[in-house]
Amino acid sequence: MSSEDEKHNPAEEKGEYAVETVSADDLIYEDAAVTSGAPIEKVSPLGYHVDWVTVVFLNISKMIGTGVFTTPGSILKAVGSVGLSLIFWVIGFFFAAASLCVYLEYATYFPHRSGAEVAYLEKAYPRPRFLIPTAFAVLSVILSFSSSNAIGQRAETSTWNVRGVAVGAFTFIVIVCILSTKWSLRLSNVVGFVKLIALIFIAITGLVVLGGHTRVKDPHANFRNSFAGTTSNGNGLATALIKVNFAYAGFENAFNIINEVRVKPYKNNETICPASLGIVFVLYFFANVAYFAAIPKESIRESNTLTASLFFTAVFGNSKAVTALSALVAISSFGNLLSVIIGSSRAIRECGRQGVLPYPRFWASTYPFNTPAGPYLLKWILTVIVIVAPPAGDAFNFIVDLQSYPYNVFSFLMTLGLFFVRKRRASIGAPPTEFRTWNAVLIFSIAVNIYLLVLPWVPPAGGIYAGDVSFFYATYCIVGIGILALSGFAYVVIVHILPKLGNYTIRQSLEKLSDGAQATRLVKIPNDELAEWDATHNEHGDFVHKEETFEARLAMQQMSME
How is 194-216 classified by DSSP, letter by letter? HHHHHHHHHHHHHHHHHTT-SS-
pLDDT for 302 equals 81
CB 41 within 8 A of CB 349: no
Compare 471 and 248 and report the one with higher pLDDT: 248
For residues 214 and 223, give the distance between their C-alpha atoms in angstroms, rounded to a whole number.
Answer: 17
Among 485, 462, 484, which residue's Cα sits nearest to residue 473? 462
> What does the pLDDT average to over 434-441?
92
Q: Is the four-CA dihedral 84, 62, 468, 117 of positive or negative sign?
A: negative
CB 296 within 8 A of CB 221: yes
Q: Is the pLDDT of residue 229 over 90?
A: no
> What does the pLDDT average to over 527-552?
76
For residues 96 and 526, give the distance between their C-alpha atoms in angstroms, rounded to a whole number.
Answer: 47
pLDDT for 29 equals 66
Cβ atoms within 10 Å of 392's Cβ, excluding its own: 14
H helix intervals, 230-264: 234-248
Residue 459, classed as helix, strand or coil, is: coil
CB 76 within 8 A of CB 344: no
Query: Would residue 159 be called left, alpha or beta, if left means φ above 0 and alpha means ψ between -120 and 50 degrees?
Result: beta
> What does the pLDDT average to over 14-24?
48
Compare 48 and 155 and report the one with higher pLDDT: 48
What does the angle CA 409 – CA 415 – CA 420 come to, to the nearest 5 degrees? Answer: 115
Side chain identity at 299, as an amino acid letter? S
What does the angle CA 359 – CA 365 – CA 367 come to, to the nearest 5 degrees? Answer: 130
pLDDT for 372 equals 96
E strand or H helix that includes residue 509: strand 504-512
Among 60, 56, 44, which residue's Cα sits nearest to residue 9? 44
For residues 100 and 435, give the distance between their C-alpha atoms in angstroms, rounded to a whole number.
Answer: 12
For residues 166 and 304, give the distance between their C-alpha atoms in angstroms, rounded to a whole number.
Answer: 21
For residues 258 and 124, give the distance between their C-alpha atoms in angstroms, rounded to a whole number.
Answer: 18
What does the angle CA 222 – CA 228 – CA 231 come to, to the nearest 5 degrees? Answer: 120
Least confident window among 122-126, 190-194, 220-224, 387-391: 387-391
> What does the pLDDT average to over 58-80?
87
Cis peptide leading into residue 128 (ω within 30°): yes
> What does the pLDDT average to over 487-505?
92
Non-local (6+) Cβ contacts of 329 within 8 A are 66, 69, 153, 306, 308
Least confident window among 85-89, 247-251, 428-432: 428-432
Q: State pLDDT tens for residues 338-394.
A: 999 999 999 999 999 998 889 999 999 999 999 999 999 999 998 888 777 766 556
Compare 285 and 405 and report the one with higher pLDDT: 285
For residues 410 and 115, give the distance between their C-alpha atoms in angstroms, rounded to a whole number.
Answer: 14
Q: Is the pLDDT of residue 431 over 80?
A: yes
Q: Is the pLDDT of residue 562 over 60?
A: no
CB 39 within 8 A of CB 520: yes
The residues facing 397 across adjacent strands are none
> Environment class of residue 388 by beta-carbon count within 10 Å: exposed (0-12), middle (13-18) or buried (19+)?
middle
Phi and psi at residue 314, in whole multiples of 5°?
Answer: -65, -35
Q: Is the pLDDT of residue 561 over 70?
A: no
For residues 507 and 523, give the distance between their C-alpha atoms in angstroms, rounded to a whole number.
Answer: 5
